[in-house]
């Protein structure tokens, strides 16, 4: 029995010694026999110092048919470094590198200064060489030139949705991290620890062992799938650029959202930037004005004021008031846009004719406490959108006792909020009185291949369905009767809309009389909306009213969306029997 046991021990010992011998033999060949070849190959093709290639998850846009379009991914190429200790001819070396990487190479003076640092062995001089150029340079075998693998963040769409997608750059340490937009909000999901590009000799011997291990980080590392539709995004950006250029505005922006889910279909501001070329970009463009900048929006606030009054029961659709053209409140003179009185008229005309005196009258009827309650519910909190640096609204006038602050707020002056806050609040009119959370990311695709849906279902009921329905009727009359004197009416589709023109503040507690902020909001089909659109343009030149600057852009987007999504007609049907909206793909 003991003899049999000893035989087994000897057999096991023999196999252990054999494996050890094979390892030593492998190490001998790697380090001694082929050591120089491996070193030269590593010197020219692999990252130095054991550093790993940059790795990061992707961000996708979603086409209407469900196909994913890359908005942020990785590009692979080469970087060039020099070893001053082995660089024999700096001038020739510079010429060789310039032929392959002229656009990313450091200046000649900087290169020669680096080449003179004989105490160093590794200095990077050029980045982001295309595959072919990098391989051609490596094939020249210039002593002292190292051609190394490199990966970097690449945005296939260039400026498309750039301010929403965001950028990556170096953080407090040596790691590239998200700095703006989705890149920073979902940095924990997109970041990768990365494997070392080099593997030590034992890892090379047992290269497949790592496949047996599972990293717990895989449970959260993945790609971000957004609801942004690339064709709609492109159309929105085109229209905003046209408005800004035509009227020499400081900035224009827009949001297209599904009001029932909060999914952002398109979100853009102009001017913007190309995430692939940040060298000459104005740093102020790297943020997102749709969540960072607050504005006094003007008369697109009036539908919210009417909905609050209808919901509170202080007015009815049949209520009339006497419009005097101008009123004095706390010594301030408040007037209609044309200073003209209308006499005794129904509430509908406050929306259709955009009457400031009427909105102020409604605010007084509502009372300060109720007015503050509704508007705090609408704008008192940030939206929670998944974009960085969201700013809150400025509602200070609603904490003061003077009635004038409430009356001006009723028609969109004296309080300010972000475009995203505004579209969320107005979205309640398109969603039965319920606000939803605007969001861009709809899912995370984990490294395992599993897609995890993101929950953005927080809902806040603000108005009753009845109050919203009556307000929607008034807004639909704006398109059918007022816009382009009724010519904007679409025979097969009901559209609810409102324009807004606000005076810009002069920074001294007053307002300019000749500088304006224009806004435009609308949703369709009116009584079962699939889309809500918010547009604005800041300080357009030589034009006063939003109906002049934004009307064409709004109608262009409406017709485009109807055709692109094949939205079925709803005209000729009672509002209660309007066809159900087709779910977005």
Cα–Cα–Cα angle for 546, 547, 551, rounded to 5 degrees: 105
Task: Identify whether the C-beta of residue 410 lies closer than 8 Å to the C-beta of residue 242.
Answer: no
Q: Are 364 and 403 in contact (CB under 8 A)?
A: yes
d(CA 255, CA 426): 12
Do 523 and 201 contact (CB within 8 A), yes or no? no
d(CA 93, CA 105): 12
**Helices 131-139 & 90-101, crossing angle to 10 degrees?**
160
Confidence (pLDDT) at 448? 72
Closest C-alpha among 496, 492, 471 to residue 481:
496
pLDDT single digits (tens) 314-371 = 999 999 999 999 999 999 999 999 999 999 999 999 999 999 999 999 999 999 999 9
Taking a C-beta distance cutoff of 8 angstroms, is the pair 405, 363 a contact? no
Domains defined along the chain, listed by start: 235-577 (3.40.710.10)
Tell which phi-psi region holds residue 45, choosing left (phi > 0), alpha (psi between -120 and 50) or beta: alpha
Asked if 300 contacts 520 with a C-beta cutoff of 8 angstroms, the reply is yes
CA–CA separation, 575 and 529 (whole Å): 12
How far lies 293's CA from each of 394, 410, 420, 503, in Å? Answer: 11, 21, 10, 16
pLDDT given at position 197:
37
> Token match 């953005």: residue?
456
Q: How far apart are CA 342 and CA 20, in angstroms?
A: 99
Which residues in the chain land under pLDDT 70?
Answer: 1-5, 25-52, 194-220, 572-585
Contact (CB, 8 A) for 359 and 408: no
Question: Which stretches of 391-473 are assigned E, i.e. beta strand?
Answer: 434-436, 441-446, 451-453, 459-461
Alpha carbon of residue 152 to chain centroid: 21
The residues, any chain, with a CB within 8 Å of residue 5's CB and separated by 6 or more, are: none
What is the Cα–Cα distance from 187 to 189, expressed in whole angstroms?
Answer: 5
Give residue 17's pLDDT: 81
Helix (H) or strand (E) segment spanning residue 492:
none
Enter the DSSP assignment of 417.
Answer: B
The rounded radius of gyration (Å) of the Cα atoms in the chain is: 32
CA dist 229 and 265 (Å) reads 5
Spatial distance between the Cα atoms of 77 and 68, rounded to a whole number of angstroms: 24
């Amino acid at each position: 029995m003991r003899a049999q046991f000893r035989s087994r021990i000897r057999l096991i010992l023999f196999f252990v010694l054999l494996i050890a011998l094979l390892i030593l033999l492998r190490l001998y060949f790697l380090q001694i026999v082929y050591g120089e070849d491996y070193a030269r190959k590593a010197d020219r093709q692999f990252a130095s110092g054991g550093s790993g290639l940059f790795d990061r998850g992707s961000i996708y846009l979603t086409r209407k048919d469900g196909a994913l379009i890359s908005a942020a991914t990785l590009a692979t190429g080469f970087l060039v470094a020099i070893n001053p200790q082995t660089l024999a001819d700096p001038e020739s070396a510079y010429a060789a590198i310039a032929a392959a990487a002229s656009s990313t190479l450091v200046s000649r003076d900087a290169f020669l200064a680096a080449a003179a640092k004989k105490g160093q062995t590794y200095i990077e001089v050029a980045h982001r060489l295309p595959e072919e150029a990098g391989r051609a340079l490596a094939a020249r075998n210039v002593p002292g030139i190292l051609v190394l693998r490199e990966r970097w963040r690449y945005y296939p769409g260039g400026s498309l949705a750039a301010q929403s997608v965001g950028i990556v750059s170096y953080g407090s340490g040596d790691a590239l991290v998200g700095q703006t937009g989705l890149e920073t909000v979902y940095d924990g999901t997109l970041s990768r620890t990365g494997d070392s590009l080099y593997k030590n000799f034992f890892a090379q011997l047992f290269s497949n062992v790592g496949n047996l291990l599972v990293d717990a980080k895989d449970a959260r590392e993945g790609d971000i799938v957004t609801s942004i539709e690339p064709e709609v995004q492109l159309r929105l950006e085109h229209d905003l650029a046209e408005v800004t250029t035509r009227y020499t505005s400081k900035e224009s922006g827009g949001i297209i959202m599904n009001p029932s889910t909060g999914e952002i279909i398109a979100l853009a501001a102009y001017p913007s930037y190309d995430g692939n070329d940040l060298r000459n970009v104005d740093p102020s463009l790297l943020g997102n004005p749709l969540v960072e900048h607050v504005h006094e929006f003007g008369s697109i606030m009036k539908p919210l004021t009417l909905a609050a009054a209808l919901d509170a029961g202080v007015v009815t659709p049949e209520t009339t008031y006497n419009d005097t053209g101008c009123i004095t409140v706390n010594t301030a003179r408040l007037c209609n846009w044309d200073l003209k009185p209308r006499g005794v008229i129904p509430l509908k005309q406050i929306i259709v004719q955009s009457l400031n005196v009427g909105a102020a009258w409604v605010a007084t009827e509502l009372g300060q406490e109720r007015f503050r309650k509704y508007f705090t519910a609408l704008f008192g909190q940030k939206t929670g959108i998944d974009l960085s640096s969201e700013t809150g609204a400025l509602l200070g006038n609603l904490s003061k006792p003077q009635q004038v602050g409430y009356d001006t707020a009723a028609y969109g002056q004296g309080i300010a909020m972000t475009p995203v806050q505004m579209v969320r609040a107005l979205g309640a009119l398109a969603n039965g009185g319920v606000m939803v959370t605007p969001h861009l990311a709809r899912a995370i695709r984990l490294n395992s291949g599993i897609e995890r849906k993101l929950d953005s279902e927080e809902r806040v009921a603000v108005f009753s369905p009845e109050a919203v329905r009556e307000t929607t009727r008034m807004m639909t009359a704006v398109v059918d009767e007022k816009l382009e004197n009724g010519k904007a009416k679409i025979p097969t589709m009901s559209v609810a809309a409102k324009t807004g023109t606000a005076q810009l503040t002069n920074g001294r507690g007053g307002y300019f009389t000749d500088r304006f902020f224009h806004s435009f909001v609308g949703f369709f089909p009116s009584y079962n909306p699939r889309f809500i659109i918010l547009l604005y343009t800041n300080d357009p030149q030589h034009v006063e009213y939003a109906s002049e600057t934004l009307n064409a852009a709004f109608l262009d987007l409406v017709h485009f969306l109807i055709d692109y999504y094949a939205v079925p007609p709803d005209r000729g049907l009672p509002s209660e029997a309007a066809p159900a909206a087709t779910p977005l793909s």
